């Protein structure tokens, strides 16, 4: 069935805007309508308060147990963040036990990991044994991790800011798969929720994502900021959030500020209450934090000194004990379950506008170091814990009991937990969905080049993708599932022909104005919900976050996508943390880094990528390659689409070039290309010399080889397509050998076996030579690694290759050195 005709859960409405009239495809939200905003019943409130108390206890105990109860073998601090957990208890109680639906997807702020696991424990989705393994090997990770902590985690977090932004891209991807009819229409669409530490909003990637989300009209996203006005080092500047609120509104977000809880609001409503409100409103964050830490007597002194003479104020304060006064003064919106639930429900009933909730909280609320500016990594002492334990009514030996210390019948608590909406199963397979693999055609078309014409790997990539984009024959299915994206370098990375065939994705149908006006352009850029290219602004972190969301689609939304993202290879560095983050959660995508190295020549300078081959070796869950010829590109793209879908596969990175090369007429062994290298000309047994090349410097290596062979006929010529795969295979073989498992030698050991033990290997790539320098360790051969270790000079190819020592002369010199008697 052609994509355009796929059933779409939604309807079209026409909207008018400054740019004219356009159609809006409105997804039907099959989520059961939010209940009308109603006040919570007394019984429900009691249950929720009991669960709040339990989460506060369990999260603090998990961390205490890891630090003080479990044996410590190395004397190192285990750590954990009791104060960060305490700050967000009420927010997470309200969400998980009342507001969230099974189809919602959540990013939990990293330092609230223990609260998250405690919630799952209460819901019967986490074991008691596992709770005791926080930060232990194979135990619960320091921060929620999709890969290590199991299917309850929707988005990993840890590098602050990234998980937050990922929710926005997740929502976009959910819309994409629904509009393309790749998921059953009856499956409800979820809301994407991030529970955000306020310091996370210092990260620039948040604002990049907000801008991009606005462009794509992202809906159904909630960011709930745990506004404790504390980061790691300090108390946050007072006036900052006024600015931040404005930024959200400018990006089309609704902002809901939850500053005061019920008790304070009731106090404000009394005579003199206005003075109290103004005083708190004007109170600097640091003073408020200090008074919170000091407690009731300090609050009384401060309030009496400043407001004692104001009408009505003493009548509010005087009847209260120190503890009651402290409870009143710290009754902020983010700690008041009723305020929270009411606000969430009201917003849910409101519609799908992205919303930022700013929930005022106190870091460490309910713990001895509440409000103290140094509490970020603070842990309760054993004595403090003993007091806290008494206060919580926990008997020795019952620390992990789910209902210990709660003054409600166990059956009532159990019944409530079983009935919360989030406890329903999303699908028979659980929270992590699945989608079958998309069949990949047995061979990909290799672009045909007339004799004498040259072709670059970048052009070959564009041609192959465009050919797949025809969706003919065997390619029909894969073409439906490929989705491309690029941060404003779509045309210059040769994605143009694919985009012309498959269109640009947008929830709103927008015509191509140039095309309608019959103005000549090679690009046909009409936008529609059927399009298969997601065009991004330049910010590279957004590219990697979108690739991450697309690359998790099978697991999050039950629809298999084959994402392909193109970026100038040097600017991988600009988004590197987000790329690593995507790999960390095992997202599956194909990254095309092009152009790369100094071979982009006059266009180079600041655009040269030097370190990327080394990054490709070092990054886990990312198989990286650098082909030289079009037939290799075809092999690697085909293999990549398959590898991306395998349970034990990974993402794939192809480093490509704009340098055109004459294409060899030959038949290739695809397995060798994938394994990382092959002999173009095998060496004679016992040869003293070989030349190895990677990528676009092939012609220089070929020329040097022809000359060397005249004098040293035994020499071999090795094509390296992936130092990463060679290196990984070598390490794996060594690991197996150490474990006494023996087995076949690695591919690189086999490749190098015909050379003499002390043979010289001259290697060359347009990238950092460290990518090859390790080859000498494989069989003790000597390596002369040629490559680029300086940066930033543009020029033409002959000048650059000469300057950096990649030209035929340099290769010949290195060969000569290798042949000199030692
Ligand atoms: C990218 C990144 N930089 C630095 C850190 C170290 N770090 C961990 S938490 C934190 C401050 C967190 O403050 P906030 O987000 O307000 O959380 P909370 O107050 O709730 O603990 C910092 C700087 C990190 N985890 N990630
Ligand atoms: Mg904070």
728-775 confidence digits (pLDDT tens): 999 999 999 999 988 789 999 999 999 999 999 999 999 999 999 999
Quick one: which atom of ligand 1 is closest to the CA of 143? 25
pLDDT tens sequence across 343-356:
999 999 999 999 99
Residue 105 beta carbon below 6 angstroms from any ligand 1 atom: no
Nearest CA to ligand 1 atom 17: 197
Percent of the chain with pLDDT over 90: 85
- Integer CA distances (angstroms), 317 to 153, 304, 333, 484, 727, in order: 45, 9, 20, 62, 70
pLDDT for 20 equals 42
Mean pLDDT computed over 790-810: 93
pLDDT for 521 equals 76
- Integer CA distances (angstroms), 172 to 153, 176, 188, 333, 634, in order: 19, 6, 15, 30, 30
pLDDT for 518 equals 78
How many Å lie between the centroid of ligand 2 and the Cα of residue 159?
A: 14
From 8-17, 32-41, 306-315, the region with the lowest mean pLDDT: 8-17
DSSP 682: P
Two tokens at 701?
């290596």
Higher-confidence residue of 131 and 1: namely: 131
How many Å lie between the centroid of ligand 1 and the Cα of residue 639?
A: 39
Rounded CA separation 258/266 (Å): 15
From 91-95, 164-168, 427-431, the region with the lowest mean pLDDT: 427-431
User: Partners of 764 in the beta sheet?
Assistant: 693, 786
Is the pLDDT at 5 greater than 50? The verdict is no
Nearest CA to ligand 1 atom 8: 232
How many Å lie between the centroid of ligand 1 and the Cα of residue 248?
A: 21
pLDDT for 19 equals 40
pLDDT tens sequence across 201-221:
999 999 999 999 999 999 999
Nearest CA to ligand 1 atom 7: 232
Q: Are 496 and 505 in contact (CB under 8 A)?
A: no
Neighbours of ion ligand 2 (CB under 5 A): 197-199, 228, 230
Q: Where are the beta strands (DSSP E) in 28-154?
A: 105-108
Higher-confidence residue of 184 and 546: namely: 546
pLDDT for 459 equals 98
| Model confidence band, residue 24 (pLDDT cutoffs 50, 70, 90) | very low
| Site to substitute for ligand 1 among 232, 364, 373, 584, most atoms within 8 A of C-beta | 232
| Model confidence band, residue 230 (pLDDT cutoffs 50, 70, 90) | confident
Mean pLDDT computed over 416-427: 93
DSSP 67: I
How many Å lie between the centroid of ligand 2 and the Cα of residue 784?
A: 52
How many Å lie between the centroid of ligand 1 and the Cα of residue 60?
A: 18
Rounded CA separation 485/546 (Å): 8
Mean pLDDT computed over 558-586: 98
pLDDT tens sequence across 288-320:
999 999 999 999 999 999 999 999 999 999 999
Mean pLDDT computed over 511-524: 76
Rounded CA separation 153/592 (Å): 29
**CA-based Rg of the chain, rounded to a whole angstrom?**
31
User: Partners of 485 in the beta sheet?
Assistant: 534, 565
Nearest ligand (C-alpha, residue 197): 1
Is the pLDDT at 11 greater than 50? The verdict is no
User: If you write DSSP's letter for every residue of 430-445 in order, what string do you get?
Assistant: -SS---PPPP--SSPP
Percent of the chain with pLDDT over 70: 95
Q: How many C-beta neighbours within 10 Å does residue 501 have?
A: 18
How many Å lie between the centroid of ligand 1 and the Cα of residue 695?
A: 41
Nearest CA to ligand 1 atom 23: 232
pLDDT for 25 equals 43
Q: Are 809 and 760 in contact (CB under 8 A)?
A: no
Mean pLDDT computed over 254-283: 96
Is the pLDDT at 238 greater than 80? The verdict is no
Nearest CA to ligand 1 atom 1: 159
Quick one: which atom of ligand 1 is closest to the CA of 198? 16
Query: Which residues contact residue 732 at a Cβ distance below 8 angstroms, ignoring those fewer than 6 apart?
Result: 746
φ, ψ at 243 (rounded to 5°) = -65, -45
Q: Are 753 and 769 in contact (CB under 8 A)?
A: no
| Model confidence band, residue 822 (pLDDT cutoffs 50, 70, 90) | low
Q: What is the mean pLDDT of the chain?
A: 93
Q: Where are the beta strands (DSSP E) in 236-311?
A: 254-258
How many Å lie between the centroid of ligand 1 and the Cα of residue 158?
A: 8
Angle, CA of 586, 177 and 350, to the nearest 5°: 105
Residue 226 beta carbon below 6 angstroms from any ligand 1 atom: yes
Is the pLDDT at 10 greater than 50? The verdict is no
Quick one: which atom of ligand 1 is closest to the CA of 230? 19
How many Å lie between the centroid of ligand 1 and the Cα of residue 174?
A: 28
Residue 111 beta carbon below 6 angstroms from any ligand 1 atom: yes
| Model confidence band, residue 529 (pLDDT cutoffs 50, 70, 90) | very high
Residue 198 beta carbon below 6 angstroms from any ligand 1 atom: yes
Residue 363 beta carbon below 6 angstroms from any ligand 1 atom: yes
Rounded CA separation 787/610 (Å): 9
Q: Are 92 and 117 in contact (CB under 8 A)?
A: no
How many Å lie between the centroid of ligand 2 and the Cα of residue 154?
A: 22
Would you tell me the crossing angle of helices 337-350 and 42-64 to the nearest 10 degrees? Answer: 110
How many Å lie between the centroid of ligand 2 and the Cα of residue 84?
A: 7
How many Å lie between the centroid of ligand 2 and the Cα of residue 214?
A: 26
Two tokens at 734?
């060594």
Is the pLDDT at 268 greater than 60? The verdict is yes
Strands 504-505, 755-765: pairing kind: unpaired
Mean pLDDT computed over 691-711: 98
Quick one: which atom of ligand 1 is closest to the CA of 203? 1
Is the pLDDT at 13 greater than 50? The verdict is no
| Site to substitute for ligand 1 among 79, 197, 204, 233, most atoms within 8 A of C-beta | 197
pLDDT tens sequence across 616-636:
999 999 999 999 999 999 999
3-state secondary structure 352-412: CCCEEEEEECCCCCCCCCCCCCCCCCCCCCHHHHHHHHHHHCCCCCCCCCCCCCCCCCHHH
User: Partners of 593 in the beta sheet?
Assistant: 567, 655
Rounded CA separation 763/717 (Å): 10
Residue 234 beta carbon below 6 angstroms from any ligand 1 atom: no
How many Å lie between the centroid of ligand 1 and the Cα of residue 269?
A: 37
Q: Three-state DSSP class for 544?
A: helix
Rounded CA separation 621/650 (Å): 5
φ, ψ at 595 (rounded to 5°) = -75, 170
User: Smallest Cα–Cα separation from 420: which of 192, 93, 186?
Assistant: 93
Q: Where are the beta strands (DSSP E) in 79-208?
A: 105-108, 192-197
User: If you write DSSP's letter for every residue of 747-763 in order, what string do you get?
Assistant: HHHHHHTTEEEEEEEEE
User: Smallest Cα–Cα separation from 300: which of 315, 275, 318, 327?
Assistant: 318
Quick one: which atom of ligand 1 is closest to the CA of 81? 21
pLDDT tens sequence across 113-165:
999 999 999 999 999 999 999 999 999 999 999 999 989 999 999 999 999 99
Rounded CA separation 580/622 (Å): 9
Q: Are 591 and 652 in contact (CB under 8 A)?
A: yes
User: Partners of 628 in the beta sheet?
Assistant: none
Would you tell me the crossing angle of helices 296-307 and 285-294 to the nearest 10 degrees? Answer: 130
Helix (H) or strand (E) holding 324: helix 322-329
Q: Three-state DSSP class for 622?
A: strand
pLDDT for 37 equals 55
How many Å lie between the centroid of ligand 2 and the Cα of residue 198?
A: 5
For the entire predicted model, the pTM comes to 0.94
Nearest ligand (C-alpha, residue 232): 1
Residue 197 beta carbon below 6 angstroms from any ligand 1 atom: yes
- How far the first Cα of the chain sits from its last, in Å, is 68
269 by Cβ neighbours in 10 Å (0-12 / 13-18 / 19+) ranks as exposed
Q: Three-state DSSP class for 764?
A: strand
Nearest CA to ligand 1 atom 21: 84
Mean pLDDT computed over 189-193: 97
pLDDT for 239 equals 72
pLDDT for 9 equals 37
Quick one: which atom of ligand 1 is closest to the CA of 83? 21
Residue 84 beta carbon below 6 angstroms from any ligand 1 atom: yes
pLDDT tens sequence across 465-483:
999 999 999 999 999 999 9
| Model confidence band, residue 376 (pLDDT cutoffs 50, 70, 90) | confident
Residue 785 beta carbon below 6 angstroms from any ligand 1 atom: no
Q: Are 533 and 462 in contact (CB under 8 A)?
A: no
How many Å lie between the centroid of ligand 2 and the Cα of residue 39?
A: 29
């Amino acid at each position: 069935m052609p994509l355009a005709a796929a059933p779409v859960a939604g309807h079209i409405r026409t909207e008018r805007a400054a740019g004219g009239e356009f159609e809006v495809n409105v997804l039907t939200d099959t989520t059961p309508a939010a209940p009308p905003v109603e006040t919570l019943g007394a019984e429900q409130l009691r249950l929720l308060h009991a669960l709040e108390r339990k989460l506060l206890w369990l999260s603090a105990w998990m961390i205490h147990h890891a630090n003080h109860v479990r044996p410590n073998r190395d004397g190192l601090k285990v750590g954990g963040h009791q104060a960060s957990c305490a700050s967000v208890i009420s927010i997470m109680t309200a969400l998980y036990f009342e507001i969230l639906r099974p189809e919602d997807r959540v990013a939990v702020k990293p330092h609230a990991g223990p609260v998250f696991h405690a919630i799952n424990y209460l819901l019967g989705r986490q074991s008691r044994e596992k709770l005791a393994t926080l930060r232990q090997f194979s135990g619960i990770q320091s921060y929620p991790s999709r890969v290590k902590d199991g299917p309850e985690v929707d988005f990993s977090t840890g590098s602050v800011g990234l998980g937050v932004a990922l929710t926005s891209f997740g929502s976009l991807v959910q819309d994409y798969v629904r509009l393309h009819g790749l998921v059953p229409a009856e499956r409800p669409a979820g809301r994407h929720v991030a529970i955000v530490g306020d310091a996370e909003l210092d990260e620039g990637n948040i604002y990049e994502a907000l801008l991009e989300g606005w462009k794509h009209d992202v809906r159904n996203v909630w960011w709930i900021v745990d506004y404790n006005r504390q980061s790691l080092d300090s108390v946050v500047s007072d006036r900052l959030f006024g600015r931040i609120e404005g930024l959200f509104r400018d990006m089309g977000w609704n902002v809901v500020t939850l500053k005061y809880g019920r008790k304070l609001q009731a106090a404000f409503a009394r005579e003199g209450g206005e003075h109290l409100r103004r005083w708190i409103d004007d109170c600097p964050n640091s003073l408020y934090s200090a008074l919170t830490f000091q407690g009731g007597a300090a609050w009384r002194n401060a309030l009496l000194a400043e407001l004692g003479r104001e009408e009505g104020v003493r009548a509010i304060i005087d009847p209260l004990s120190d503890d009651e006064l402290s409870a009143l003064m710290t009754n902020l919106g983010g700690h008041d379950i009723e305020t929270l639930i009411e606000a969430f429900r009201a917003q849910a009933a409101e519609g799908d506008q992205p919303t930022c909730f700013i929930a005022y909280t106190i870091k460490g609320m309910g713990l001895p170091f509440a409000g103290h500016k140094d509490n970020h990594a603070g842990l309760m002492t054993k004595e403090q814990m003993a007091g806290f334990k008494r206060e919580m009514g926990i008997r020795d030996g019952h620390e992990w009991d789910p209902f210990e210390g709660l003054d409600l019948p166990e059956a009532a608590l159990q019944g409530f937990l079983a009935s919360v909406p989030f406890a329903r199963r999303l699908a028979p397979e659980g929270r992590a969905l699945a989608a079958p693999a998309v069949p990949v055609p047995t061979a990909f078309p290799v672009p045909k080049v007339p004799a004498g014409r040259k072709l670059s790997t970048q052009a070959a990539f564009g041609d192959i993708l465009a050919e797949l984009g025809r969706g003919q024959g065997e390619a029909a299915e894969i073409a439906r599932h490929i989705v491309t994206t690029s941060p404003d370098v779509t045309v210059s990375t040769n994605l143009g022909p694919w985009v012309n065939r498959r269109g640009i994705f947008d929830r709103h149908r927008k015509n191509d104005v140039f095309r309608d006006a019959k103005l000549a352009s090679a690009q046909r850029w009409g936008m529609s919900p059927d399009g298969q290219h997601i065009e991004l602004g330049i910010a590279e972190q957004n590219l990697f976050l979108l690739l991450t969301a697309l690359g998790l689609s099978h697991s999050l939304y039950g629809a298999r996508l084959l994402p392909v993202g193109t970026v100038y290879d040097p600017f991988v560095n600009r988004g590197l943390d987000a790329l690593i983050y995507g790999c960390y959660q095992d997202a599956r995508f194909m990254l095309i880094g092009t152009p790369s190295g100094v071979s982009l020549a006059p266009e180079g300078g600041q655009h040269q990528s030097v370190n990327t081959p080394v990054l490709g070796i070092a990054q886990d869950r990312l198989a990286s390659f650098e082909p030289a010829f079009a037939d290799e590109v075809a092999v690697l793209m085909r293999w990549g689409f398959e590898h991306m879908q395998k349970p034990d596969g990974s993402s794939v990175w192809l480093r490509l070039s704009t340098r055109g090369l004459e294409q060899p007429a030959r038949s290739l062994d695809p397995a060798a290309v994938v394994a990382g290298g092959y002999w173009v000309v095998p060496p004679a047994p016992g040869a003293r010399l070989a030349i190895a090349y990677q990528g676009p410097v092939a012609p220089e290596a070929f020329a040097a080889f022809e000359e060397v062979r005249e004098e040293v006929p035994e020499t071999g010529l090795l094509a390296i397509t992936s130092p990463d795969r060679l290196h990984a295979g070598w390490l794996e073989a060594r690991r197996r050998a150490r474990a006494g498992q023996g087995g076949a030698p690695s591919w690189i050991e086999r490749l190098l076996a015909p050379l003499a033990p002390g043979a010289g290997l001259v290697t060359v790539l347009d990238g950092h030579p460290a990518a090859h320098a390790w080859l000498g360790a494989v069989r003790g051969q000597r390596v002369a690694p040629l490559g680029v270790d300086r940066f930033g000079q543009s020029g033409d190819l002959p000048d650059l290759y000469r300057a950096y020592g990649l030209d035929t002369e340099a290769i010949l010199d290195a060969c000569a050195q290798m042949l000199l008697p030692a």
